[in-house]
Amino acid sequence: MIDRIKALLPYIGAVLIFIILSTAYFTPVLEGKKLPQLDNSHAKAMAKELVDFEKQTGEKSMWTNSMFGGMPAYQIKGDASKNVFWYFNKITHLGLPYTTIAIVFLYMLGFYLLLLSLKIEKWLSVVGAVAFAFGSYNLIIIIAGHITKTYAIALMAPVIAGVLYAYNRNKWIGGLITAIALGMEIAYNHVQITYYLALMILIIIIAKLVYAIKEKAIKTFTQTSTILAVAAVLAILPNITNLITTYEYGKESIRGASELTAKEGEKEHSGLDIDYAFSWSYGKKETLTLLIPNIVGGASEPIGTNDGAMSEVDNRLKEYVSQSSQYWGGRVFTSGPVYIGALVCFLFFIGAFYYKGKEKWWLIAATVLSILLAWGKNFEGFNHFMFYNFPLYNKFRTVEMALVIASFTMPVLGFLGLKTIIDKPELIKQDSKWFLIAFALTGGISLLFAVAPGALGIYDFLSPQEAQSFAQQIQQGGDQAMMYKLLQDNLITARQHLMTSDAWRSFIFILIGSASLWFYSQNKLATRYIIWGFAILIFIDLWGVDKRYLNNDNFETKTKAKEEFAKSKADEAILRDQDLYYRVLPIYRDPFKDGFTPYWHKTVGGFHGAKLRRYQDLYDRYIFNNWQTLIQSLQNAQTLGDLEIELENMPILNMLNTKYVIYNPGATPIFNPAYMGNAWFVENIKLVADADEEIAAIGGVNLHKSAVVDQQFKEQINGYSIDSIQGSIDLVSYAPNKLIFESNTPQNQVAVFSDIYYDKGWNAYIDGKKTDHFRANYVLRGLMIPEGQHTIEFRFEPTSFYTGQWVAAISSIIILLLIAGAGFWFWKKQKTE
């Protein structure tokens, strides 16, 4: 027993090291400070209505009206209560702060387990875990607030460990590890990261198949692959609620096909717009950020914040140059580079040249694929093919995210390479050319850019927009042209400093690391010095770069953090309105990139990467123009009454029940007297043939009196037309997933409701009897109301959600039984040994 405890001590020590390092990075958390994380703040705002509703009623709503007129809540605040993996994930946090310390801890723990499964020595595995965890992208996305993405990345390593363990050692144990780790990974609900993980696994399977064919081991390969397929199913089933509802909703969102006819020259497909999907593509020149962080300037922040760069600038021009961005790559902006570490890059090539194990080629293939995918629009031939032909690939945006694969595979191969050299140092003596090539491809390139930043004409230190602007100004000639030429030269000089200082930095780390390995191969250094020497070098390297983008200065006090959602004067004025349900439009910022207004109000806009496709169409066709018009009118209006007149001519905003317009958070909002309320009767129906006619028609009819309806619903309309509107219909009860109206009319009349039509869950009831409703005005709901007094209810009752919950609960029980059975088998086996 004592021997077993002693054997566990190094692993316990590793876990403690991970806790200490992750806590040390986020020491302000121990002082009670908070890290402002924009996307996490948006998530809080989006979920506010759902959280409040659950607190008040104990019920979970799968629909929210807080943004985009209303949308499913599956991707905002789903219900994972029946998913066993959700509970497993909570356990692995060890009670550490969820949005900071626990993330880095799990980065390290997961990668550590992977390296151990690859039979890398336990302390070398600790170093490898640190190398992976502190890659810059892993820290930058924490401050951005991409919390679910961070955890999905952290779980990639255990999943790969399970897959490799199944193929290389024990298919049953590997299968169980895969099922648990993959289930936990999927539970974090970041489908794009899971997709990249699936690509890696696909490459692994192909590689294992090739080896199986060569070794005539197809039977074993087939058995293992079958077990892993079953493991994948077991991982998916407890997550099925979210997966099936997301799949269902995805077809109706901007991730699905548009019903509108494609514009001339555009290729039809069932996913995102390709320009939107590729808008965040990593530049080819930026790829070297993996080796030299500031190769294209670093983050999009003023260059004036870098004293070293400004020291190179003419004193007369410092004021002008300081306002320019450090970053000059091809993207609109960036929070920082994807830097995996100079020494990790060097070790990657050491692994590529000296490691001869079966994992080598899939690691190299996955790395190359990662870079090609990240290039996006900068490598059109390949990526256009992937976008239009590879399954599900067109559902994702921000393709630079594909570099999470390289950020994972390069440290793995690097530490397999380091292990190879540590085990057989004579390999460097026997074939030193590969060592020199590895040094040349990393240290040599770093040195080249350190001494000659303009070498080979690869980098010009100006963004495409800057280069064009300077060229136009200089071509005009005269004194002004000379001034612009001088300004351009000084900006280039400042940015060259950013590159050269980091290039020298990377070169020095590689020089020390490679020299250490060389001396080790000559029997002049002990193994322990290599392991801990690399640990210190890698830690200093990555920690130093990470602190540029996420440091103690980014934290704020709890008091200041609470001010994030403080009510503005406009908020307070609107919230005094006692109406049950209406919408708000902020125009002082893009309403479709607004992640804060939903905290207090139900908005026309919002912030989400998977809004309903038809609602996006409405924005593109009408709401964007309305927003721009209101801004221009605000600048020219003599009184607020002028804006009210303008709003009367915006039927789309009015049918969406837009009661208030916020033009300044510190001012009283504009009341819109033309808003159409929660429901209204119409006199006639304009039937149209398709979506093109439907969206065009709503801009040309009087929506107070007419409704535009697709002919697929004509049987429900039955030639409807009346002489005049009579009676009333009013909202009497509001909940995000249940609306109750009371109607009183002397005749059958069609009512249009200012709520979003979504037939994958919303059901209509008249006096408790389920009744068919239809889509009106492109995105809204319509219903034939019979004469007399009636109670109309709309309830959100998604069959997919309820079915998913049953499947999740049953499969979660099966998972627990399998784990218990495996535990009993292991205990029995240990007892008999």
Report pLDDT digits (tens) over 211-249: 999 999 999 999 999 999 999 999 999 999 999 999 999
Whole-number pLDDT of residue 266: 63
pLDDT-derived band at 126 (thresholds 50, 70, 90) equals: very high
288 DSSP 8-state letter: G
pLDDT at 456 over 70: no
- Average pLDDT taken over every residue of the chain: 92
How confident is the model over 800-819, as a mean pLDDT? 95
pLDDT at 577 over 90: yes
How confident is the model over 205-212, as a mean pLDDT? 96
pLDDT at 21 over 90: yes
Provide the token pair at 243.
């997966």
Whole-number pLDDT of residue 3: 66
Backbone angles phi, psi at 361, to 5 degrees: -75, -35
Whole-number pLDDT of residue 808: 96
Whole-number pLDDT of residue 719: 83
Whole-number pLDDT of residue 721: 87
Contact 162, 175 (CB under 8 A): yes
Higher-scoring residue by pLDDT: 150, 478: 150
pLDDT at 720 over 90: no
pLDDT at 424 over 80: yes
How confident is the model over 694-713, as a mean pLDDT? 95
SS3 136: helix
pLDDT at 48 over 70: yes
How confident is the model over 609-638, as a mean pLDDT? 90
pLDDT at 149 over 90: yes
Whole-number pLDDT of residue 229: 97
DSSP line for 9-27? HHHHHHHHHHHHHHHHHTH
pLDDT at 43 over 80: yes
Provide the token pair at 550.
């996420």
pLDDT at 265 over 70: no
Residue 672: left (phi > 0), alpha (psi -120 to 50), or beta?
Answer: beta
How confident is the model over 282-306, as a mean pLDDT? 93
Backbone angles phi, psi at 210, to 5 degrees: -60, -45
pLDDT at 267 over 70: no
Whole-number pLDDT of residue 450: 94
How confident is the model over 448-477, as a mean pLDDT? 84
pLDDT at 269 over 70: no
pLDDT at 69 over 70: yes
Report pLDDT digits (tens) over 631-681: 988 888 767 777 778 888 999 999 999 999 999 999 999 999 999 999 999
Contact 120, 416 (CB under 8 A): yes
Q: What angle do CA 463, 468, 469 make, to 5 degrees?
A: 95
User: Which H or E run includes 697?
Assistant: helix 691-697
pLDDT at 563 over 90: no
pLDDT-derived band at 467 (thresholds 50, 70, 90) equals: confident
Whole-number pLDDT of residue 442: 97
Whole-number pLDDT of residue 833: 60
Tell me which residue of 230, 74, 158 sits closest to 815, measured CA to CA: 230
Largest Cα–Cα distance in the chain?
A: 100
CB neighbourhood size of 579 (10 A): 11
Whole-number pLDDT of residue 268: 63
Whole-number pLDDT of residue 270: 64
User: Which H or E run includes 680?
Assistant: strand 679-682
How confident is the model over 563-572, as a mean pLDDT? 91
User: Which H or E run includes 765?
Assistant: strand 762-766
How confident is the model over 344-349, as a mean pLDDT? 98
pLDDT at 760 over 80: yes
